[in-house]
Structure 1
Amino acid sequence: MQTQHYDVVIIGAGPAGSLAASLLHQGGRRVLVLEKEQFPRFSIGESLLPQSMVFLEQAGLLQNVEQHAEQLGFQFKNGAAFHRAGVDTQFDFTEKFTPGPGTTFQVKRALFDKTLADTAQQQGVEIRYQHAVQACQISTERAQLTVLDTEGVTYQVDAEFVLDASGFGRVLPRLLQLEKPSEFAVRCSFFAHFNDKIDCDVFDRNKILITVHPEHHDIWYWLIPFSDGTASVGVVIDPVHLAGQDLDLCDDILQGYLAQDPNLARLLSQAEQIVPARKIQGYSADVTSLYGPRFALLGNAGEFLDPVFSSGVTIALRSAALIAPLVERYLAGEDVDFEIEYSQALKQGVNCFKTFVKAWYDQRFQDVIFHQQQDDTVKKMISSILAGYAWDESNPYVKQSERRLNVLAELCQSS
């Protein structure tokens, strides 16, 4: 069996894989991307955060997204709206503490991911679709992958470095026994696309709408409008609320829960579901390490928190933007401290998001965002985090997220 040689092999052609491949290719490295699916393919995570635009522009991937946004149904996005038991609030991401883009898109991920991958290919990146990594041998001396191609034939690829951007496939965590339980409870999400037919003067299609269940505040819904009149709609539920129900009846569960919130029921009263509902269960994940000899994990292949603040794609792109220059230096023979320069640097923002996700489910953050009297300066700091700028340590709610949020929640709860 002939072995092929590359500087870097990337597992997965999603946003993290395409971005890392683009940056490394621009640096003159011979890069191979192995993707087990054929694009376009379904993926969840459709509401981007403005911080993502910085990374896409850095890799030369943003122009094609902006140029084709309208024809692909991508919706301009400038913030997030929240609803709970008749109370509404919203965040305008252009009114934030951290400099940088304040707008982005709500995207159909199959088309968004294909646009990024196609652009990387146009730049010269080699992507092999329907090639699945079956095994790996990685040591301080070498990294070798065994790959199954579209004809059912296996071959081997040697690389100086391997990046796992396989998302929920989590290829290297499985093969190298790196997986560990997440800190977050197991939850189920049920979702589908609709012709939403929303006819409401106060509904803002430029924002994702996050709705809290009127009785159970640990249950929440997303409504992500697209520019072609369709929308992604879903509900996230602790399985304790689903006891005795057949979880394979996804349409019934989704429609049943949508009917339980008066505001959503009103907004979607004319909506037509256009695809069968899907289910994802137990999606939160973690690993013992984000890196090792000659490999690193990107995005969801490392840790996935929760979909509530749409942080997944931003974390994935941030991980790719962080790792690419470090791999460049490593391949050039320089000393790289992957613990400090990659793992800790990435986790700084991930941990900030984690603080707010935990506070969402224990309702501290809900009490903050639905509080009737909001300080403009504090709101801009919170808006920055919700816009994805969770690595800006000049923001006190990033640098001391747990302490600051606790104090703020106590103030809101006592007033």
Structure 2
Amino acid sequence: MAGGGRRRRRRGPRRVRPRPPARPARRDAAGRLGVRGVAAGLGRGAHGGRRGTCARPRARLVAAPSAAAGGRRRDGDGGRPAGAGARGGARHGRGRRAGRGHPARAVALRPGAARRGPDRGRRRDGSRRGGRRARRRRFVTHVFDAVVVGGGPGGSSVATFLARGGLRVGLFERERFPRFHVGESLMPAAMLMLERLGARAAVEAAGFQIKYGATFVDQATARAQTFYFLTGQPWPNYTYQVPRAEFDTLLLDNARRHGVTVFQPAAVETVAFDADGVTVSASGEEGPVTARAAVAVDGSGRASLLATRLGRRRRIPNLGKVALFSHYRGAARFSGKEEGNIRIYVFDDGWIWWIPLAGDVTSVGTVMHARTVAAWSGGMEELHADMIRRCPPVAELLAGAERVTSVHREANFAYDNRPVVGDRFVAVGDAITFVDPIFSGGVYIAMRTGELAAEAILEAFRTGRFEARRFASYERRVRRGIAPLFRFIHKYYEPAFFDLFMRPRNHFGIYRAVLAVLSGGSFLHMAWRTRASLAILFAITRANVWLRRRAGLPVESRLEW
């Protein structure tokens, strides 16, 4: 021992332990990578209750630092807009052109990336390890302010309104456009939505069939009543009959023009919420796609991807109908202003819609009770043809016409989803509710709820708060807006109301009030005179029920088919 120091113990050659492979990312029960399907406890977030109920992403977002326009921003910061301060979007988009969306930044998302040093994954000679397998494991996460699931009228509308408000928006649509879809008749108030979306000029130039009104035909009494949309209203006195394949493509292209990043076809597989945002994973033709945002919008229509997984779908009693529909070429046409009118034929076994489209094409749909389908022993094409035969006026109009599409089917389409808002989540359009297509309200409701949802989300960015209670006012506005139309649908099937509906009188402003509902105006603004007129109409209906009972006439709703 030299210098009185401690004697050193001699060691043998150092043993180098093999480095374990990188730990794979955790998977859920279905084997999906990195996120839970949907986090339990939506509605309890950073401001709404216990944070522990929210699922957190299983892998960190890792990227080289980059300069973001408008201010300092860290990758994976929960979707906060670039340049936004602690209170969100008040200063969002500074220095960028107003009214346009902004493309997302992409960051690499690698399982276990947070545990790897800068030289991990390289051989001693500097070359990369893993080859094709390593490249397969690497994919891209796009960072947005908002992510929209679904590219129909609701999804494309909310995405466009958000992009016009200055947010970066990503939209996932699982199908290729154009694609066939039901719901081809618009309400006049939809023209206002198209104007606000910046799409009205394109729709006007598309050559769609113009529609000035709606005709209702009662086979039992051989009575027909046509309602022409009024002039001098906030909305025009016309609208269009639109093939949804073309119309939906037009709206989605309009969203692209406003800066929305569209992933198509890309089917969303998982959505995970946490206290800082939402992570959406989808599969596309070019492989998996992942997006990170501050808020998600369910615009997936009847599929209701988020609304049904996070809550429940309630079927509306007595509205369990089945619709069979197809397109015909060469059917008879009416002349003048009547040519483009939607026509509704009511008969004992159900009702039929007749929607004339441009290019000598007519959409014909037969709507019947589910028990009619259950009792039918043949195929759906034969049932569709048989229902048309039961309504002689429609059968006569189709004499000599050729069916040019297959017969499509929609079943049990009356439902209501709850919840439709949550922490960092809102739903629009058919992802909220759908009752009946009798008054052609589906497309307009989708676009209007998209506008209202965008207003709520933009306000959330201004305040920096995204919990469910911040979106409660949006849900109230939606429920209040659709209530008059839905009440009309229920009343329409009652003989006492239908009798008055088919013999309208403009006493107490009732006729104008009815047209306000049929035009979609009740969802925009309902004046007290309109509300009073509708209240009088429903009071007269109750009196008519009593009179029909005294006369021995049926009073039960046709919903009891």
Give the TM-score of the pair, scaled to structure 1.
0.91
Aligned with residue 541 of structure 2, among 387, 409, 412: 409
| Pairing of 1:253-268 with structure 2 (within 5 A) | 253-268=383-398
Give the match for residue 128 of structure 1.
Answer: 263
The yes-or-no answer on 1:179 pairing with 2:310 is no
Matched letter for residue 395 of structure 2: A
Q: Is the 8 A contact 1:12 1:167 kept in 2?
A: yes
Aligned with residue 240 of structure 1, among 352, 360, 371: 371
TM-aligned CA deviation for residue 363 of structure 1: 3.1
Would the alpha carbon gap of residues 229 and 145 (structure 1) be closer, same or farther in structure 2, given more than 3 Å must change?
Answer: same
Q: Distance in 2 between matches of 1:94 and 1:373?
A: 15
Q: Distance in 1 between matches of 2:410 and 2:377?
A: 14
Q: Is the 8 A contact 2:510 2:537 kept in 1?
A: no
What secondary structure, in the 3-state scheme, does the structure 1 residue paired with 2:338 have?
coil
Matched letter for residue 519 of structure 2: A
What secondary structure, in the 3-state scheme, does the structure 2 residue paired with 1:205 have?
helix
What secondary structure, in the 3-state scheme, does the structure 1 residue paired with 2:384 have?
helix
What secondary structure, in the 3-state scheme, does the structure 1 residue paired with 2:180 have?
coil
Give the match for residue 13 of structure 1.
Answer: 151
Would the alpha carbon gap of residues 93 and 77 (structure 1) be closer, same or farther in structure 2, given more than 3 Å must change?
Answer: same
Matched letter for residue 204 of structure 1: E
Give the match for residue 300 of structure 1.
Answer: 430
Matched letter for residue 253 of structure 1: L
Give the match for residue 183 of structure 2.
Answer: 45
Q: Distance in 1 between matches of 2:315 and 2:407?
A: 27
The yes-or-no answer on 1:101 pairing with 2:236 is yes
Give the match for residue 388 of structure 1.
Answer: 520
| Pairing of 1:10-409 with structure 2 (within 5 A) | 10-68=148-206, 70=207, 74-85=208-219, 86-94=222-230, 98-151=233-286, 153-198=287-332, 204-213=338-347, 215-216=348-349, 219-246=350-377, 249-333=379-463, 338=470, 340-371=472-503, 375=507, 377-391=509-523, 392-394=525-527, 396=529, 398=531, 403-409=535-541
Q: Is the 8 A contact 1:61 1:120 kept in 2?
A: no
Q: Distance in 2 between matches of 1:180 and 1:244?
A: 25
Instruction: Compute the RMSD of aligned alpha carbons.
Output: 2.3
Larger Rg: 2
Q: Distance in 2 between matches of 1:400 and 1:158?
A: 49
Q: Distance in 1 between matches of 2:504 and 2:230?
A: 21
Q: Distance in 2 between matches of 1:279 and 1:5?
A: 38
TM-aligned CA deviation for residue 408 of structure 1: 3.1
Q: Distance in 2 between matches of 1:130 and 1:326?
A: 28
TM-aligned CA deviation for residue 334 of structure 1: 5.5
TM-aligned CA deviation for residue 109 of structure 1: 0.3
Question: Could you give the per-residue CA deviations for residues 55-91 of structure 1, whole angstroms, max 9, x where no partner exists?
Answer: 11111011111112x1xxx210111100012111011
What secondary structure, in the 3-state scheme, does the structure 2 residue paired with 1:204 have?
helix
List, as ranges, runs of 4+ consecutive aligned residues in structure 1 with deviation greater than 3 Å: 199-203, 334-340, 372-376, 395-401, 410-415
TM-aligned CA deviation for residue 397 of structure 1: 5.1
What secondary structure, in the 3-state scheme, does the structure 2 residue paired with 1:320 have?
helix
Would the alpha carbon gap of residues 276 and 314 (structure 1) be closer, same or farther in structure 2, given more than 3 Å must change?
Answer: same
TM-aligned CA deviation for residue 240 of structure 1: 2.4
Of 357-366 and 75-84, deviating more is: 357-366
Q: Distance in 1 between matches of 2:212 and 2:532?
A: 25
Q: Distance in 1 between matches of 2:446 and 2:235?
A: 18
Of 362-371 and 124-133, deviating more is: 362-371
TM-aligned CA deviation for residue 394 of structure 1: 0.7
TM-aligned CA deviation for residue 326 of structure 1: 1.6
Q: Distance in 1 between matches of 2:260 and 2:458?
A: 16
Q: Is the 8 A contact 2:421 2:472 kept in 1?
A: no
Q: Distance in 2 between matches of 1:111 and 1:201?
A: 25
Q: How much identity, in percent, do the aligned residues show? A: 27
Would the alpha carbon gap of residues 396 and 178 (structure 1) be closer, same or farther in structure 2, given more than 3 Å must change?
Answer: farther
Of 334-343 and 57-66, deviating more is: 334-343
TM-aligned CA deviation for residue 227 of structure 1: 2.3
Q: Is the 8 A contact 2:506 2:512 kept in 1?
A: no
Would the alpha carbon gap of residues 23 and 339 (structure 1) be closer, same or farther in structure 2, given more than 3 Å must change?
Answer: closer
Q: Distance in 2 between matches of 1:224 and 1:233?
A: 6
Would the alpha carbon gap of residues 188 and 350 (structure 1) be closer, same or farther in structure 2, given more than 3 Å must change?
Answer: same
Of 342-351 and 131-140, deviating more is: 131-140
Matched letter for residue 229 of structure 2: F
Q: How many residues align?
A: 404
Give the TM-score of the pair, scaled to structure 2.
0.68
Of 115-124 and 290-299, deviating more is: 115-124
Q: Is the 8 A contact 2:146 2:297 kept in 1?
A: yes
TM-aligned CA deviation for residue 278 of structure 1: 1.2
